[in-house]
Structure 1
Amino acid sequence: MATEPSTAETPEAYDQLLSKVKRINNVEAASMLLSWDQQVMMPEGGTPARSQQLSTLSALQHELLTEEEVGDLLDELEGETLSPEREAVVREVRRDYERAVRVPTDLVERISQKTSEALPIWEQAKAENDWSQFAPHVEELVDLKRQYAEHVDPDADPYEVLFADYEPCLSLERAEEILTEIRETLVPMIDEIRDSETPITTDAFSGQFDTEVQEEVAREALTMLGYPWERGRLDTSSHPFSTGTQFDARVTTRFKAEDPIDALTATIHEFGHATYNLGLPDDAYATPLGEHRGLSVHESQSRLWENHVGRSQAFWERFLPTMAEYFPTIEEMTPREAYESVNQVYEDNPIRVEADELTYHLHIVLRFEIERALIAGELSVEDVPEVWNDKMEEYLGFRPETDAEGCLQDIHWSHGSFGYFPTYSLGSAMAAQLFQAAEADLGDVDALTREGEFDTLREWLRENVHRHGQRYETNALVREATGEDFSADAFTDYVTEKYGALYDLERV
């Protein structure tokens, strides 16, 4: 499919608009690269300059997007007959323009500067287990984000406005319906698992694992999965993340000597994000057709590779011998023991990114409820640690021992990313639906995994998801790839079958 069909009938206004969009998106890409550097490479003392640099670029991007000429070009194209791809470009630019034009540039600049300043404070507060250090910055960011939402749509729920920054094509109401279905499936299942007397291996990876060797293992996994090193790199950061474009998609992870699976699954997760970026069409770079659809779709790619591939028994049949070459202490481990261990449902794990595949979503519910209450003004920032711990006890059955294990564990609020968390669970539901469709088209994907043949699945995802960029809105993209509207059905079927078999539950 040509991403930018060339015809003599292309309106001049469209070409002018596209030229402006490319400048805007290149400024954003430069901001992302500076943000990556701040989290990975920048010296500790660089924050004052970096906050100004990022603030300036944010203001410039906003000014370019809200130029009067952009609005005029959009108006000029309103009645034009365009190809479906070009219609999509205009639709996406119009959405961004209409939101941005309502927000003062100085507010955008203040938000960017505050998030840059807040990042090192969060890192220090987490290291010192002290919410009070970070709380004033959260308070400021909550206030700034409320102002932002008020400007975008004074009549809307401010949290819904913020959610649309990360998932612009699904209503918050529809998202909550899917999240509710996930929760209603998982809560009784988790209770049943905890009551199960079926023994599974839980300590296959106990012991100490050199972190430098773990990095070599992570690189082996990335190479096996097909990560193109000429367009990416692996680094460490305090919170694993991925950033980049189809030409430069970087991943980070973190290593713990006592838990090699944490780094490995995080690396595979970020590989999924990077693979999506790398799968976007090269010839549409810096245009909506070369940009990702949204964070629900982005998370579907990371959760698919992490859970449906990286936590499968077939993956461990393939990868365990390689890992054992680096760690001789696990030479006698069987793939089944590895599979059971990486899929165990924890009784008392407080950390979201280390959570099992099921309780993970209760971590998301907790964050969703807290940040929504913060934005609504129903919860004060100083009360977050207590409410966090209360909710963790209610949903997960235990209380964190420290703020670092509780409300300080995630980086998102330092970025001002209120509204992001629901996309993790939405992405998990979407991942299951996409993987189910891939299996229907490709046959036994586990067999491909056992053979180390990952190109086939990656190319299926590129063909059915990545190459479209923002050509389709979220539900339409899922329908295009799977033949069905987006729902939680495939996810609930998947976890019921997988964990029912693993723990010998009655529902199987």
Structure 2
Amino acid sequence: MATDASAVEAPEAYTELLSEIERVNAVESASEILSWDQQVMMPESGTPARSKQLSTLSSLSHDLLVDGPVGDLLDDLEDEPLSDEQQAVVREVHRQYVRAERVPGELVEEISEATSEALGAWESARENDDFDEFAPHLERLVDLKRQYADHIDPDADPYAVLFADYEPWLPLSQAESILDELRETLVPLIEDIRASDADLATDAFEGTYDTEVQEELSREVLELLDYDFSRGRLDVSTHPFTSGNQFDCRVTTRFDESDPIGALTSTIHEFGHAYYTLGLPDEQFGSPLGDHRNLSVHESQSRLWENHVGRSAAFWRLLLPKFESAFPQADDLSPQDAYEAANQVYDENFIRVEADELTYHLHIIVRFEIERELIGGDLAVSDVPERWNELYEEYLGITPPSDAMGCLQDIHWSHGSFGYFPTYSLGSVMAAQLYDAASDEIDDLEPKIEAGNFEPLGEWLRENIHQHGQRYRTNELVVEATGEDFTAEAFIDYVTEKYGELYDC
């Protein structure tokens, strides 16, 4: 029973539940910092100790949730009158508890240790272009994750169970429908673009760009976008990522002296994640109301800033003078040149994180289909490279020259993160719908971006997304923010119009 918050005094069991879940989240937060350190600063030979540390914290978090009083407190609250927000907290904790309670602590610890060991193996395999070096770790993780899914719901599609770890309130069928729409739209659109005679300034940023200067420019861009360095930091990692909470949220990026745009878009992407996390309510830290909704919503924030802001013509009219100041060799570029170069669709690109805005989603769909086959038992780990190359040829018309540029390029499988990849495309689709709604409500949004005034957009996101934490389910949150159901319509309209104009197709 849900009622108005002002009319309800929190039951004692609810207060105790919050205290318990805050302890669980504190352990998980400590584990996240150790994971950040492993990927950014830990000495190369630190893996054996870090594996034990992370597995112990993972087991401790599981035990606090399952073996403590959480289950009894949830039972006590079943018939209590609760406010809407209290009801949301109980809903989220109940879901977390039920899933954790069904998974043996020994399996949780084994998965944690396996992922920590797999990370080092993946890094080495990628560097050596040797899939066989990583394959035993991937095979172990696939097996462990099947066991995990079977414990949670032996009657369900195991991949749907794993997907729900990252997107708990969006049916897998809805996600598949959206991905199908993307594939049906993007494959012919990309073919038309590649057949176009449009003369874009695709070579505008050719040359060599000092990586230290790129890092300085990335910091300047983060400050321009209002990243709070008192609660965060910028570092370099093999795979760009964001980690933390509303008091300490850190971003990483990577630099390539031949690709300054890649570093900028990665940095802006990670800023979007951090901006969401830093916008969560301080006073709700440790509770579901102070945590992000899920990875699709998180990705909507990063893709909104990366693509709808960072790749926009308005943003490049703002940024180009700063870019030219950092790199005088680019002083003959026009804003239009920069905009076209930042939005080119590549004839051949093998790396997801370096992909253009359109082919990016076909990279995701390839991974999604392979994951489904792996978890479903329809694909052997040893056959992953061949299947990978087959799907790349089918959807993108290209075959990776190596496994390092193919199936070994992403870190996520070493984390055991099966079910994660669809959230990237779902987030991009959601970003288009949110940006449409923000544009309708904020007067002259594009001129504001060109003037470097990001506050109105930031405030809109704070009000409509960030402040809610996990109060709403995914589809409910989209409706609250936009007034419309979550669909691919806005995204398809956006890419069709934008790239139709760029490539005259």
Q: Same fold (TM over 0.5)?
A: yes
Report the counterpart of residue 263 of structure 2 in structure 1. Answer: 263
Paired with 1:72 and 1:31, the residues of 2 have a C-alpha distance of 26
Report the counterpart of residue 250 of structure 2 in structure 1. Answer: 250
CA positional deviation for 1:5: 5.5
The one-letter code matched in structure 2 to 1:402 is S
> 1:359-413 CA distances to partner (integer Å, 9 max, x unpaired)?
1110011000001111111111111111111111111111111111000100000
Paired with 2:255 and 2:140, the residues of 1 have a C-alpha distance of 32
Report the counterpart of residue 150 of structure 1 in structure 2. Answer: 150
* Equivalent residue runs for 1:414-493 within 5 Å: 414-493=414-493
CA positional deviation for 1:71: 1.1
Paired with 1:349 and 1:444, the residues of 2 have a C-alpha distance of 35
Paired with 1:183 and 1:242, the residues of 2 have a C-alpha distance of 28
The one-letter code matched in structure 1 to 2:324 is A
TM-aligned CA distance change 1:46 to 1:6, over 3 Å: farther
Paired with 2:273 and 2:423, the residues of 1 have a C-alpha distance of 13
Q: Considering only aligned residues, what root-mean-square deviation do their CA atoms show, in Å? A: 1.0
Q: Which segments of 5 or more consecutive residues in structure 2 lack a partner in the other structure?
A: none
Q: Check conservation: 2:8, 2:82, Cα contact below 8 A.
A: no
Paired with 2:473 and 2:390, the residues of 1 have a C-alpha distance of 37
Q: Check conservation: 2:125, 2:131, Cα contact below 8 A.
A: yes
Paired with 2:31 and 2:327, the residues of 1 have a C-alpha distance of 39
Report the counterpart of residue 374 of structure 1 in structure 2. Answer: 374
> 1:132-186 CA distances to partner (integer Å, 9 max, x unpaired)?
1111000000000000000000000000000000000001001111111111111
Report the counterpart of residue 72 of structure 2 in structure 1. Answer: 72
> 1:408-441 CA distances to partner (integer Å, 9 max, x unpaired)?
1000001000000000000000000000000010
Aligned length: 502
* Equivalent residue runs for 1:392-407 within 5 Å: 392-407=392-407
* Equivalent residue runs for 1:233-312 within 5 Å: 233-312=233-312
Q: Check conservation: 2:251, 2:270, Cα contact below 8 A.
A: yes
Report the counterpart of residue 85 of structure 1 in structure 2. Answer: 85
Q: Check conservation: 2:236, 2:254, Cα contact below 8 A.
A: yes
Q: Which segments of 5 or more consecutive residues in structure 1 lack a partner in the other structure?
A: none
Write out the 4+ residue segments of structure 1 that deviate beyond 2 Å after TM superposition.
4-9
Report the counterpart of residue 318 of structure 1 in structure 2. Answer: 318
Q: Within the alignment, does 1:211 sit opposite 2:206 as a pair?
A: no
Paired with 1:446 and 1:369, the residues of 2 have a C-alpha distance of 37
Q: Secondary structure at the match of 1:78?
A: coil
Paired with 1:19 and 1:151, the residues of 2 have a C-alpha distance of 27
Report the counterpart of residue 348 of structure 2 in structure 1. Answer: 348
Paired with 2:265 and 2:123, the residues of 1 have a C-alpha distance of 22
Paired with 1:100 and 1:171, the residues of 2 have a C-alpha distance of 20
Paired with 2:351 and 2:124, the residues of 1 have a C-alpha distance of 18
Paired with 1:68 and 1:49, the residues of 2 have a C-alpha distance of 27
**Identical-pair percentage:** 66
Report the counterpart of residue 193 of structure 1 in structure 2. Answer: 193
CA positional deviation for 1:443: 2.4
Paired with 1:204 and 1:105, the residues of 2 have a C-alpha distance of 54
Paired with 2:407 and 2:185, the residues of 1 have a C-alpha distance of 26
CA positional deviation for 1:269: 0.3
TM-aligned CA distance change 1:8 to 1:89, over 3 Å: closer
> 1:226-261 CA distances to partner (integer Å, 9 max, x unpaired)?
101101100000000001100011000000111111
> 1:282-338 CA distances to partner (integer Å, 9 max, x unpaired)?
000010000000000000000000000000011100001101111000011011001
Paired with 1:90 and 1:376, the residues of 2 have a C-alpha distance of 32
CA positional deviation for 1:7: 6.7
Paired with 1:369 and 1:333, the residues of 2 have a C-alpha distance of 41
Report the counterpart of residue 160 of structure 2 in structure 1. Answer: 160
TM-score, normalising length from structure 1?
0.98
> 1:421-479 CA distances to partner (integer Å, 9 max, x unpaired)?
00000000000000000001002221111000011111110110000000000000000
Q: Secondary structure at the match of 1:243?
A: strand
Paired with 2:143 and 2:421, the residues of 1 have a C-alpha distance of 19
Q: Check conservation: 2:5, 2:84, Cα contact below 8 A.
A: no
Q: Secondary structure at the match of 1:207?
A: coil
Paired with 2:333 and 2:368, the residues of 1 have a C-alpha distance of 39
TM-score, normalising length from structure 2?
0.98
Q: Secondary structure at the match of 1:235?
A: strand
Q: Check conservation: 2:8, 2:83, Cα contact below 8 A.
A: no
Report the counterpart of residue 26 of structure 2 in structure 1. Answer: 26
The one-letter code matched in structure 2 to 1:244 is G
Q: Check conservation: 2:247, 2:282, Cα contact below 8 A.
A: yes
CA positional deviation for 1:8: 6.8
Q: Secondary structure at the match of 2:235?
A: strand
Q: Secondary structure at the match of 1:238?
A: coil
Report the counterpart of residue 132 of structure 1 in structure 2. Answer: 132
Paired with 1:107 and 1:405, the residues of 2 have a C-alpha distance of 32
Q: Secondary structure at the match of 2:238?
A: coil
Q: Check conservation: 2:262, 2:354, Cα contact below 8 A.
A: yes
Q: Secondary structure at the match of 1:372?
A: helix
Paired with 1:405 and 1:53, the residues of 2 have a C-alpha distance of 32
Q: Secondary structure at the match of 1:432?
A: helix
Q: Secondary structure at the match of 2:250?
A: strand
Report the counterpart of residue 10 of structure 1 in structure 2. Answer: 10
Paired with 2:300 and 2:457, the residues of 1 have a C-alpha distance of 14
Paired with 1:445 and 1:347, the residues of 2 have a C-alpha distance of 32
Paired with 2:6 and 2:255, the residues of 1 have a C-alpha distance of 48
Paired with 1:106 and 1:296, the residues of 2 have a C-alpha distance of 29
Report the counterpart of residue 61 of structure 2 in structure 1. Answer: 61
Q: Secondary structure at the match of 2:497?
A: helix
